[in-house]
Structure 1
Amino acid sequence: MTAEPLDATVVTTLVRDATAAPSMHNAQPWRFRYLADRGAIRLFGDPGRAMTRADPEQRALHLGCGAALFNLRVAVAHAGREPDTALLPDPAEPWLLAEVDTDRPVRPDDDLAALHPAIHRRHTSRFPFTDEDVPSGILDGLRAAARMEGARLHMPGAWHVQEVLDLLHDAESRESLDPEAREELLRWTGAPGGATSSGDGIPAHAFGPRQHDVTAPVRDFAAGRAVAGRGSATFEKRPQLALLGTPHDNVLDWLTAGQALERVLLQATSDGLVTSLTSQALEWPELRWALRDPSSPMGHVQMVIRLGYGPEGPETPRRPVEDVLEFA
């Protein structure tokens, strides 16, 4: 049975949900097009919003778009339609990353809609977490969420967590000595008149406090700048980390990882956890390879996730939907 075409108000709401996804430096590197005659929503990557220094292969850009795609699938299911999704549907258009057909009613066994309430509750938290352990049952559920999207979620042991932290500190040192990396970071984070004035980037209020002792993998987006009213705090001594990875490392893997990442984050939010993402070591190829556990079947680490219990992070800006959505 074919459903009626979606009207413009519904499509706008679906895309607004999609754009609540996380992306590197909150650059929001996506565009959407609704094809009314086919009842399909197309997702395009926007290379003009790529991080040329930190993400030269545009891996992180594709992860962000994959996360937005997962949110779109959840929103479509919540609206009562089945999100039939095709990745990279047209080889002649490499920046056409996905097409979601919405012309059939949602299947009774589709569980995506249950995650919809978490879409706008999920915010990156760069605040201290408690040292309370996440129960094994919840961790098992997060692993299952990643597997449902074709990725793996690995919870490193104590020795591996320390290795990850050491690699992240190494990446921070490299970034501090790289003028291009520093300039790119400043352009997208909290600078007056910078990206955050147009509904993107990371505003200063989302930086979180400075760490007394650097024990948690939380990137300091202040990058040495003084931020009015920003205090300091003691962070958790035993950060709980998860590594999200895929067997291979191509565009399809990146889109797969992005969808898995967002499913994990929405499931974590539904379970009462707070999360933040760490990508510094992933931005240096020699460090990224060293992140993986050699005993794990995971081939390529795509994201480091910090999770636990603590204060929710603040909302970060989003571009107006009319800036990213067109009707055809």
Structure 2
Amino acid sequence: MSLSRRKSLFILGGGVILAATAVGAKVAMRAPQTALLPWGQAGQGDDPRIRALSYALLAPNPHNRQPWLVDLATPNEITLFADLNRLLPETDPMNRQITVGLGAFLGLLRMAALQDGLRAEITPFPMGETPEGLDARPIAHIRLTPDSKALPDPLFAQVLARRSVKEPYDLTRPVPSALLEPMAKAVIFSDFGASVDPAHVQSLREFTHNALAIEVATPRTYAESVNLFRIGAKETDANPDGIDFGGPLFEMLAATGQFTRETALDTTSTVYQQGMAAVFANCDTAMGHVWLVTPANDRASQLAVGEDWLRLHLAATAAGLSLQPLSQALQEFPEMAGPYRDIHARLAPNGGTVQMLGRIGFGPEVGPSPRWPLETRIANGAG
């Protein structure tokens, strides 16, 4: 969960001359044609499982990998699997973050089912689990059953408005401490922590900045992110996952060859230097931080914290706050061992695992992230 889609990410000397031409204007106005359609299709379908899943796929998840596959062969039931082709082996070698994302998917599925008066009975890891990583065994089995006492979750009203705002936040607008309360109340399974104290915020700004610098300076972990860049509307439509870069500036930079995966990997390039400045600006403009801690770090706990992160994010949206995960220091690759140890000493001094860390503040309005159509996430349809 890292790189920014800040629209002013690369201000290259001399500008992009092509933009002054008719062809350039046409290129600059390109927009995804299919990648955002799932946001407008949520809630459609005759099968209540399809309706619930059409919302669930809008859940937050690391690097927007959308690592979910479902089996619908048994009526009224759903079996969730991890798409093993969508893991993050370098930055998430234990698949912890992927599991958290799958938990957010389950949490949103649960909320969406309640809209239809259905209770989602979720059995996590029905065939067992392993701490080493995810495998072909199911993540969860879900059975939808009618429940006349099931009440819609008020947080569901924020589902289509939720965004991970990966832009600088307004440094002139402090976050009132009163806005932390609804987020704390939204959390069910985890221990919620937060701070808007200026000294604490500044300390965590510096800490998260340094942790991000380690991820970027480690060639294989940085390359993992760059390989998931989707540069421009055509790439985003073709692969509506990963880290998307859209809008007139990026369309022009891509069209003129100034922004490519190769230039992003070249640490001597202007693209790299100015891109890094923009990315670090996100850490450096946090106006508060929130985090979730669990006593255990088994797979069921990771799924549960994903549901809590979703709920926390929806509560932040309802409060008018922007939120972005800053999970670099929580990653388990060797070069991050020092920050990992330090963040646990800071935020979980009595033990437990810091599962999620994010920044809050008041950011600009941004659009939704691309999504694969639901039919591509169904491994076995209703028979």
TM-score between the two structures when normalised by the length of structure 1:
0.81
User: How much does 1:69 deviate?
Assistant: 0.7
Q: Which residue of 2 aligns with 1:327?
A: 381
Contact 1:82 1:107 in 2 (8 A): no
Q: Which residue of 2 aligns with 1:312?
A: 365
CA deviations on 1:163-184 (whole Å, 9 max, x unpaired) are: 4333322223323332211221
CA deviations on 1:187-237 (whole Å, 9 max, x unpaired) are: 11234686773111121139x99xxxxxxxxxxxx676739xx99797775
Which amino acid counterpart does residue 101 of structure 1 have in structure 2? R
Instruction: Decide whether aligned partners of structure 1 residues 50 and 83 sit closer, same or farther in structure 2, where only a CA change above 3 A counts.
Output: same
Q: Which residue of 2 aligns with 1:215?
A: none
Instruction: Decide whether aligned partners of structure 1 residues 252 and 294 sit closer, same or farther in structure 2, where only a CA change above 3 A counts.
Output: same
Q: Provide the secondary structure at the position in 2 that maps to 1:268.
A: helix
Matched, 1:187 2:187: no
Mind listing any 5+ residue stretches in structure 1 that lack a counterpart?
1-6, 210-221
Aligned-partner Cα distance in 2 for 1:89–1:139 = 35
User: How much does 1:11 deviate?
Assistant: 2.5
Matched, 1:18 2:72: no
Aligned-partner Cα distance in 2 for 1:61–1:279 = 12
Instruction: Decide whether aligned partners of structure 1 residues 44 and 238 sit closer, same or farther in structure 2, where only a CA change above 3 A counts.
Output: closer
Mind listing any 5+ residue stretches in structure 2 that lack a counterpart?
1-44, 130-134, 251-263
**Quick one: which of 177, 191, 199 aligns to 1:152?**
191
Aligned-partner Cα distance in 1 for 2:293–2:348 = 14
User: How much does 1:121 deviate?
Assistant: 1.0
Q: Which residue of 1 aligns with 2:310?
A: 262
Contact 2:79 2:140 in 1 (8 A): yes
| Equivalenced residues, count | 303
Contact 2:127 2:137 in 1 (8 A): no
Contact 1:42 1:99 in 2 (8 A): yes
120-129 or 66-75, which deviates more: 120-129
**Quick one: which of 348, 354, 371 aligns to 1:301?**
354
Matched, 1:198 2:251: no
Contact 2:48 2:113 in 1 (8 A): no
CA deviations on 1:249-304 (whole Å, 9 max, x unpaired) are: 12112111111100111111122222111112222233123113267556211111
Name the structure, 1 or 2, with higher relative contact order (CA <8 Å, separation 6+).
Answer: 2
Aligned-partner Cα distance in 1 for 2:127–2:318 = 35
Which amino acid counterpart does residue 74 of structure 1 have in structure 2? M
Q: Which residue of 2 aligns with 1:122?
A: 162
CA deviations on 1:69-116 (whole Å, 9 max, x unpaired) are: 1110010001211122221222288641222221222524x452x222
Matched, 1:99 2:153: no
Contact 1:124 1:314 in 2 (8 A): no
Q: Which residue of 1 aligns with 2:213?
A: 173
Q: Which residue of 1 aligns with 2:82?
A: 45
Aligned-partner Cα distance in 2 for 1:124–1:57 = 23
**Quick one: which of 327, 341, 357 aligns to 1:289?**
341
Which amino acid counterpart does residue 143 of structure 1 have in structure 2? A
Which amino acid counterpart does residue 40 of structure 1 have in structure 2? E
TM-score between the two structures when normalised by the length of structure 2:
0.70
1:221-260 equivalences under 5 Å are 226=271, 239-260=287-308
- Higher radius of gyration, 1 or 2: 2
Which amino acid counterpart does residue 226 of structure 1 have in structure 2? V
Identity of aligned residues (%): 25
Aligned-partner Cα distance in 2 for 1:232–1:94 = 38
**Quick one: which of 172, 175, 181 aligns to 1:140?**
181
